[in-house]
Amino acid sequence: MANLNLIKLYDLFDCKIDGPLNERTLQSLQEWGLIPREGTYLCPEGHPLKLKQCAQSVDGYVWRCTTAIKGKKKNVRCDVYISLRKDTFFAKSRLSIFKIVAFAYLWVKNLTLDVIMEELSISNHTASDWSSFCREVVYDGMVVNKNKIGGLGKVVEIDESKFGRRKYHRGHRVEGQWVFGGVERETNRCFLVPVEKRDKETLLKIIKDWILPGTIVVSDFWKAYDCLSEEGYIHFRVNHSIDFKDPDTEQHTNTIEGLWRHVKCSMPQYHRKKLFFNGYLAKFMFNRNCKNCDTDRLSTFLKMAGRLYNPCSIKPVEEEEQEEYEIEISL
C-alpha cells in the first residue's frame, strides 16, 4: 500500500472522526495488530469470540459470544462481552480511535504538540499523554526489541557526544547528557544510548548489545575502546575531525559526525527533559530507519504499537517484520 496520509486515514474511517467504526477500519486495525483477529479470544466455553456490532459501544463493536449451549433442562446461550479496546493501544483513552491514529500520524511526522493539539482539537494534557505513549512505542520497537547493526564486512563508526552544556535554567543547574552511538556506514542504521559514564564497562556492554561480532568498528582514541580487537571486532582508531581520513587505513568517522549533527537538530530545542531523552533518541532512530528502508512510518509505528500493546500472549517476532525496524533523519 502506498504511504498513508491524513486524507487516506480520513477516508479509511469513512470521514468520521468518532462514532462506530466500519468493517474496513476494523480490518486495517487488525492488520496493524492494534486489535486482535477473530479467533484470538475464547469464551469460557471455548467458543471463539466474534466482532459484533453494538450500539452501546463508542466504537460500535464488541467481542461477543452468543453461542447456544445445550443445558440440562433447556438450551441457553453464552453471553460474553469483551470491550474492543481491552488491553490494546486504545485502552484507557476516551479519544476516538480516529483521533488516536491521527495523533500517531502527526507525531511520527514530527509536528510539534502545539500543532497537533490544534489540528485534532485535543487538550494539552491529552497531547502530552499520547506523546508519552508514542515515545514508549518507539522505545520498545527500536531499543527493547533492537536489531543489531554491523556484521561481517560491515563498518560501524562509534563515538560519544555531549548533548547540551552545563547552564543555569530558572535557578537549576542543567547538566549536559552524554550519548554513545554507532552508525552502520553502508545503511545508516544507527543506535543511540544515553550514558552516565564513558568507561570501558559501560561502553563495551552497549557495543556488545548493539554491534554484531566480526564488524569493522571505527572509533577515536578514547581509551575505553582499547579492548575492542580482543572482543571479536576488527578495530580501527582514527583522529576525530570532520573530513579526516587516515592516510594508511583510509578509515574515517565522518558518518557518525554527520549523525550527531542530525540528531541534535532533531531534538526539541525547548522543554527538553532528561526523562524523555530515551524516547527522543528512539524516535530519531525510528524515523531514520523508516527513511533508509523507505517504509511507511505510520503503519510501521502502528505495528510496533500493536506488538507492545498486545492483549494476547507474546507472539514470536516475524523475521520480515524485523526488517522494517531499520532506521531517518528528521530535520
Judged by CB under 5 A, the number of residues near Zn ion is 6
CB of residue 311 vs Zn ion: minimum separation in angstroms? 18
In this chain, which stretch among 76-84, 243-251, 262-270, 277-285 interacts with Zn ion, using CB under 5 A? 76-84
Q: Where are the alpha helices (DSSP H) in the chain?
A: 6-12, 23-31, 97-108, 113-120, 124-139, 200-210, 254-266, 277-293, 297-308, 319-324
Q: Strands 167-169 and 234-237, how do they pair?
A: unpaired
Among 78, 82, 227, 293, binds Zn ion (CB under 5 A): 78
CB of residue 70 vs Zn ion: minimum separation in angstroms? 12
Question: Nearer to Zn ion by C-beta: 47 or 198?
Answer: 47
CB of residue 66 vs Zn ion: minimum separation in angstroms? 7
Question: Nearer to Zn ion by C-beta: 76 or 144?
Answer: 76
Q: Are 80 and 49 in contact, with CB atoms under 8 Å apart? A: yes
Q: Are 114 and 176 in contact, with CB atoms under 8 Å apart? A: no
CB of residue 62 vs Zn ion: minimum separation in angstroms? 14
Taking the C-alpha atoms of residue 41 and residue 59, their distance in angstroms, rounded to an integer, is 18
Q: Are 232 and 148 in contact, with CB atoms under 8 Å apart? A: no
In this chain, which stretch among 13-21, 24-32, 57-65, 244-252 interacts with Zn ion, using CB under 5 A? 57-65
Residue nearest to Zn ion (CB): 78
* By CB under 5 A, residue 67 contacts Zn ion: yes
* By CB under 5 A, residue 47 contacts Zn ion: yes
* By CB under 5 A, residue 43 contacts Zn ion: yes
* By CB under 5 A, residue 65 contacts Zn ion: yes
Which residues, other chains included, contact 289 with Cβ-Cβ below 8 Å and sequence gap of 6+?
A: 142, 189, 295, 324, 325, 326, 327, 328
DSSP per-residue codes, 215-276: -EEEE-S-GGGTTGGGTT-EEEE---STT---TTT----HHHHHHHHHHHHHS-SSS--GGG
In this chain, which stretch among 36-44, 221-229, 247-255, 262-270 interacts with Zn ion, using CB under 5 A? 36-44
* By CB under 5 A, residue 179 contacts Zn ion: no
Question: Nearer to Zn ion by C-beta: 16 or 47?
Answer: 47
Question: Nearer to Zn ion by C-beta: 14 or 45?
Answer: 45
* By CB under 5 A, residue 212 contacts Zn ion: no
Which residues, other chains included, contact 244 with Cβ-Cβ below 8 Å and sequence gap of 6+?
A: 238, 252, 253, 254
Among 18, 38, 45, 175, binds Zn ion (CB under 5 A): 45
Residues at the contact surface with Zn ion, assessed by CB under 5 A: 43, 45, 47, 65, 67, 78
